[in-house]
């Protein structure tokens, strides 16, 4: 009897142990993520400048946010940014992984060099590329001029038609190394025998890629796309802020930069929180749909 | 045993984290209480920006303590110039005591006063109002009450130019827009450079252009019109507003400035100017020191006023005293006598002089502060000082300022029209009103609101 109770206690202790060990992380997560989120959601129903007393106004902040032309424009810019960044980060990342997966000279150097920008901060990268794009001193226009490609010289950050793409490129450049490494590890785990069997059946390189590589690395593609798309939606503040501040003429204003501006420059914290909740809902829905669609076959 | 160790470590980690997150229990000094039996006066503000400014503040505090042995002055500089509102927000949430706060005047006017963060100083400062130069206290007055005390130099805006290049090309300082066009034509022909390169990627600098052109197109009624506009009594889509935008477009149309400026920040602008890749820029007088640091001895820098755009209408320049102090409603209510004793001591020219002059020597806000007679200062004081008006971005809210800032280069570069720009300003104002914006907030305040900003008592004597 005693032995049974003691064994049950031991089992309970063993099963509870992992939960106990996650408690510190859970406390941190609750304090720094869950609690601010709940408080942000709560204040989105109030008119509040952060200093004076809060005034309850129901869902008006959500209406004000959706009526705000600049916020709607910033949402559109965010979508454009997210689509461009997701496609290119994954396209280039996968392409580079395929190149490096083969036995090429300087493989380790290429991998290190391509991964290095991942370790740079957004501020450093933003300042660096702002100078590269600079119309007076920038090496990009200087190089184009030197190559005789004067027709390609642009106001990379001053032309409202291309500024968002110039900023997006910097984000892509910074992160392709990260996505490349993930793809590379996935490619290296695909069994060689599958390719050998396919070749015996007469498959060419393209067929191998479509029918073997893609299905075999699908889980990593899902992960990469999810990381890229959510990252592009919620992690663009520093880069945009450093490079353009949302200009010219709001052409690079994203939902994040505009909600921060609304909170701390316009002192309208309630409306800014409503904007953040709207952005959260959009990212949640997109992430959920993307995850469901891309894992449909696996299910 | 391992599990027990892990559990203990986890518990220790949690305890450490919770201790780290716990609210500061406070100390005597920051709570406004006594320390070593002395009364404590707490001074706050953003981190000082000018050479030796922090040391000058400490000296004033030390001298005050020497004169008042029963007092301990605690100074806390926190956050950057732009972080003032967030710093005060954090102080308020943490129940901190701050008796005197020093920051940019614009934040006081645009945000802090109507948020109920500033004590009404009207009655408190009355005995010493004559220490300020004419008009200085008016610039800190809203709704008929004085909320802050200007403690700095007056900034304004001006064209900077490369004197050596002008001399080499035999160019005279332009007075009118046509003369400026001619000067720029010569520079472009002879040097092949963009005559004027702006720090246009910093949107906040563009409204300074509008303040100049609007002052002229409105017939020197820019501030009055904006106040009427914000009160709902004036439509901002009229001829004067459209003309102000079109005047700026003329700078782009005539090739005086181009879209390269939109991609140029402060460092880029100064570097281009220093290397002779541009001949002029339009900037604030507060930039003089930084510009001279970059240029060194390469060439002499001159300044001239924004040109006359309409014949017979003299230019007017945006202006204001950058730094102020105020008494936050977070102050220790028992300290009003001490606060005013310090303010009396501080506003003596010999005490505040070094702090005021650390930023610039242009029109110090306190009477009796002597300036050095630098050529640049003398020129500005003799040319610009007679035609100054309040910066419009001190009058209108940040939302309007941002719309103006984004539309100026948009109109200039032809991405939108002046008519659409003024329409956007008007519709932004209409949206703000719908969201609850009130310009004359002092008319809307309840007795309860006013009670929160009234000083707890008016000291009989300031202890002089």
Q: Where are the domains of chain B?
A: 28-153+321-379+441-453, 155-320+385-434
Can you read off the two tokens belonging to residue B156? Answer: 């304004």
C-alpha to C-alpha distance for B188 and B182, rounded to whole angstroms:
10
Q: What is the pLDDT of residue A179?
A: 94
Q: How far is CA A252 from the centre of its chain?
A: 16
B155-320+385-434 CATH fold: D-Maltodextrin-Binding Protein; domain 2 (3.40.190)
- CA-nearest of B408, B428, B404, B425 to B416 is B408
Question: Who contacts B239 (Cβ-Cβ below 8 Å, separation ≥6)?
Answer: B217
Q: Do A51 and B200 lie within an 8 Å CB cutoff?
A: no
Peptide bond connecting A248 to the previous residue in cis, omega within 30 degrees of 0: yes
Ranges of residues in chain A with a pLDDT under 70 are 1-5, 12-13, 296-299
- CA-nearest of A159, A136, A163 to A77 is A163
Q: What is the pLDDT of residue A297?
A: 59
Of B85, B200, B268, the CB nearest to A267: B85
A30 interfacial to chain B (CB closer than 8 Å): no
How is residue B35 annotated by DSSP? B
Query: Could you tell me how many helices (H) and strands (E) chain A has, helices first?
Result: 15, 2
Q: In whole angstroms, how far apart are CA B244 and each of A177, B305, B396, B402, B417?
A: 49, 17, 17, 16, 12
Q: What is the pLDDT of residue B26?
A: 44
Domain B28-153+321-379+441-453 and domain B155-320+385-434 have a common topology: yes
- CA-nearest of A137, A127, A51 to B107 is A51
Q: Do B3 and A13 lie within an 8 Å CB cutoff?
A: yes
- CA-nearest of A182, A175, A184, A180 to A117 is A175
**ipTM computed for the complex:** 0.81
Q: What is the pLDDT of residue A273?
A: 96
Can you read off the two tokens belonging to residue B146? Answer: 């004085």
For helices B349-359 and B336-346, angle between their N-to-C axes, nearest 10 degrees = 70
Question: Considering only alpha carbons, which residue of chain B is nearest residue A20?
Answer: B7
H-run or E-run covering A6? helix A2-29
Domains of chain A: 69-294 (1.10.3720.10)
Q: Do A50 and B89 lie within an 8 Å CB cutoff?
A: yes
Residue percentage of chain B with pLDDT more than 90: 60
Q: What is the pLDDT of residue A230?
A: 87
When pLDDT is cut at 50, 70 and 90, the band that residue B75 belongs to is very high
C-alpha to C-alpha distance for A31 and B355, rounded to whole angstroms:
42
Q: What is the pLDDT of residue B291?
A: 85
Q: Do B271 and A137 lie within an 8 Å CB cutoff?
A: yes
C-alpha to C-alpha distance for B274 and B283, rounded to whole angstroms:
15
B38 interfacial to chain A (CB closer than 8 Å): no
For CA atoms B19, B20, B22, B28, the dihedral sign is positive
Question: Considering only alpha carbons, which residue of chain A is nearest residue B428?
Answer: A68
Q: Which residues of B fall within a CB distance of 8 Å from A141?
A: none
Q: What is the DSSP string of B270-318?
A: HHHHHTTSEEEEEEEGGGHHHHHHHHTTSS-EEEEPPPB-STT----EE
The answer to whether the beta carbons of residues B126 and B461 sit under 8 Å apart is no
Of A24, A67, A160, the CB nearest to B14: A24
Give pLDDT tens digits for B136-192: 888 889 999 999 999 988 888 999 999 999 999 999 999 999 999 999 999 999 999
**C-beta neighbour count of A11 within 10 angstroms:** 10
In this predicted model, which residue has the larger pLDDT, A172 or B1? A172
Instruction: Assess whether pLDDT exceeds 50 at residue B364.
Output: yes
Q: What is the pLDDT of residue A111?
A: 83
B28-153+321-379+441-453 CATH fold: D-Maltodextrin-Binding Protein; domain 2 (3.40.190)
Give the phi and the psi of residue B104 in degrees, each rounded to 5.
-65, 135
Give pLDDT tens digits for B222-260: 999 999 999 999 999 999 999 999 999 999 999 898 888
Q: What is the pLDDT of residue B263?
A: 78
**C-beta neighbour count of B143 within 10 angstroms:** 13
> In B, residues 159-198, which contact A (CB 8 Å cutoff)?
197
C-alpha to C-alpha distance for B52 and A119, rounded to whole angstroms:
37
Q: Do B260 and A267 lie within an 8 Å CB cutoff?
A: no
Query: Distance from B263 to chain A by nearest Cα, in Å?
Result: 5
C-alpha to C-alpha distance for B158 and B283, rounded to whole angstroms:
6
Give the phi and the psi of residue A295 in degrees, each rounded to 5.
-110, 10
Can you read off the two tokens belonging to residue B212? Answer: 């100049």
**C-beta neighbour count of B176 within 10 angstroms:** 14
Q: What is the pLDDT of residue A125?
A: 94
Of A27, A247, A250, the CB nearest to B201: A247
Q: What is the pLDDT of residue A5?
A: 67
C-alpha to C-alpha distance for B383 and A265, rounded to whole angstroms:
34
C-alpha to C-alpha distance for A228 and A90, rounded to whole angstroms:
8
Q: Do B262 and A17 lie within an 8 Å CB cutoff?
A: no
Q: What is the pLDDT of residue A2?
A: 60
Name beta bridge partners: B324: B103, B150
Q: Do A266 and B434 lie within an 8 Å CB cutoff?
A: no
Q: Which residues of B fall within a CB distance of 8 Å from A158?
A: 200-201, 259-263
Instruction: Assess whether pLDDT exceeds 60 at residue B23.
Output: no
Instruction: Assess whether pLDDT exceeds 50 at residue B27.
Output: no
Q: What is the pLDDT of residue B25?
A: 44
Q: Write the burial class of residue B81 (CB in 10 Å: 0-12 exposed, 13-18 middle, 19+ buried).
A: middle
C-alpha to C-alpha distance for B78 and B103, rounded to whole angstroms:
11
Pairing assessment for the beta strands B301-304 and B154-162 based on DSSP bridges: antiparallel
Instruction: Look at the block and give the residue holding tokens 């316009």.
Output: A266
Question: Considering only alpha carbons, which residue of chain A is nearest residue B271?
Answer: A137
> In B, residues 378-417, which contact A (CB 8 Å cutoff)?
397-399, 402, 406-407, 409-410, 415-416
Q: Write the burial class of residue B365 (CB in 10 Å: 0-12 exposed, 13-18 middle, 19+ buried).
A: buried
Query: Distance from A110 to chain B by nearest Cα, in Å?
Result: 32
> In B, residues 195-224, which contact A (CB 8 Å cutoff)?
197, 200-203
A31 interfacial to chain B (CB closer than 8 Å): yes
Q: Do B265 and A130 lie within an 8 Å CB cutoff?
A: yes
Query: Distance from A92 to chain B by nearest Cα, in Å?
Result: 28
- CA-nearest of A259, A241, A233 to A44 is A259
């Amino acid at each position: 009897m005693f032995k049974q109770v003691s064994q049950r206690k031991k089992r309970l202790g063993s099963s509870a142990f992992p939960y106990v060990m996650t408690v510190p992380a859970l406390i941190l997560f609750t304090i720094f993520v869950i609690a601010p989120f709940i408080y942000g959601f709560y204040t989105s129903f109030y008119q509040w400048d952060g200093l004076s007393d809060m005034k309850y106004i129901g869902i008006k902040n959500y209406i004000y946010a959706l009526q705000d032309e600049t916020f709607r424009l910033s949402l559109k810019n965010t979508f454009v940014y997210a689509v461009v960044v997701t496609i290119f980060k994954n396209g280039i990342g996968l392409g580079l992984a395929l190149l490096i997966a083969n036995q090429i000279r300087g493989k380790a150097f290429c991998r290190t060099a391509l991964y290095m920008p991942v370790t740079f901060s957004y501020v450093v990268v933003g300042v660096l590329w702002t100078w590269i794009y600079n119309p007076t001193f920038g090496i990009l226009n200087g190089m184009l001029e030197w190559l005789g490609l004067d027709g390609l010289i642009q106001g990379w950050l001053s032309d409202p038609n291309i500024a968002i793409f110039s900023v997006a490129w910097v984000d892509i450049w910074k992160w392709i190394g990260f996505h490349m490494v993930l793809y590379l590890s996935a490619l290296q785990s695909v069994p060689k025998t599958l390719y050998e069997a396919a070749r015996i059946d007469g498959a060419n390189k393209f067929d191998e890629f479509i029918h073997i590589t893609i299905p075999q690395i699908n889980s990593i593609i899902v992960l990469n796309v999810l990381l890229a798309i959510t990252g592009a939606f919620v992690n663009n503040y520093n880069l945009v802020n450093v490079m353009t501040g949302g200009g010219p003429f709001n052409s690079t204003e994203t939902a994040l930069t505009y909600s921060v501006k609304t909170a701390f420059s316009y002192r309208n914290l309630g409306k800014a929180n409503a904007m953040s909740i709207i952005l959260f809902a959009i990212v949640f829905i997109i992430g959920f749909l993307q995850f469901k669609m891309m894992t449909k076959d696996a299910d | 045993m391992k599990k027990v160790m892990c559990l203990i470590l986890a518990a220790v980690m949690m305890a450490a984290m919770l201790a780290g997150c716990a609210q500061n229990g406070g100390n005597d000094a920051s709570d406004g209480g006594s320390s070593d039996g002395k009364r404590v006066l707490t001074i706050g503000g953003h981190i000082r920006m000018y050479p030796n400014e922090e040391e000058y503040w400490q000296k004033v505090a030390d001298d005050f303590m020497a004169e008042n042995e029963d007092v301990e002055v605690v100074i806390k500089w926190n956050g950057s110039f732009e972080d003032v509102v967030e710093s005060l927000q954090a102080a308020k949430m943490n129940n901190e005591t701050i008796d005197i706060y020093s920051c940019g005047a614009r934040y006081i006017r645009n945000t802090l006063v109507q948020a109920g963060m500033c004590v009404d100083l009207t009655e408190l400062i009355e005995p010493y109002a004559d220490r300020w130069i004419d008009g200085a206290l008016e610039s800190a007055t809203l709704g008929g009450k004085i909320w802050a005390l200007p403690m700095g130099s007056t900034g304004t805006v001006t064209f900077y130019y490369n004197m050596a290049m002008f001399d080499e090309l035999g160019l005279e300082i332009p007075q009118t827009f046509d003369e400026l066009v001619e000067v720029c034509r010569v520079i472009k022909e002879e040097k092949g450079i963009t005559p004027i390169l702006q720090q246009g990627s910093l949107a906040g600098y563009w409204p300074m252009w509008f303040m100049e052109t609007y002052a002229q197109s409105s017939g020197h009624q820019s501030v009055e019109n904006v106040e009427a506009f914000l009160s709902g009594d004036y439509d901002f889509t009229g001829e004067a507003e459209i003309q102000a935008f079109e005047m700026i477009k003329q700078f782009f149309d005539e090739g005086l400035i181009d879209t390269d400026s939109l991609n140029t920040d402060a460092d880029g602008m100064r570097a281009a100017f220093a290397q002779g890749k541009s001949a002029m820029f339009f900037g604030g007088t507060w930039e003089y020191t930084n510009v001279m640091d970059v240029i060194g001895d390469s060439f002499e820098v001159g300044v001239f006023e924004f040109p006359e755009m309409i014949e017979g209408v003299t230019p007017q320049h945006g202006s204001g005293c950058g730094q102020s102090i105020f008494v936050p409603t977070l102050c220790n209510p028992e300290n009003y006598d001490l606060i005013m004793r310090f303010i009396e001591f501080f506003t003596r020219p010999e005490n505040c002089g070094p702090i005021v002059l650390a930023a610039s020597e242009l029109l110090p806000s306190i009477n009796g502060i002597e300036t050095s007679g630098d050529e640049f200062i003398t020129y500005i004081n003799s040319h610009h000082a007679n035609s100054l008006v309040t910066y419009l971005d001190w009058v209108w809210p940040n939302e309007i300022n941002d719309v103006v800032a984004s539309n100026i280069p948009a109109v200039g570069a032809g991405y939108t029209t002046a008519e659409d720009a003024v329409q956007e300003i008007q519709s932004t104002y209409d949206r703000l009103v719908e969201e609850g914006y009130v310009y004359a907030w002092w008319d809307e305040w309840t007795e309860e609101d006013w009670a929160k900003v009234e000083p707890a008592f008016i000291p009989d004597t300031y202890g002089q």
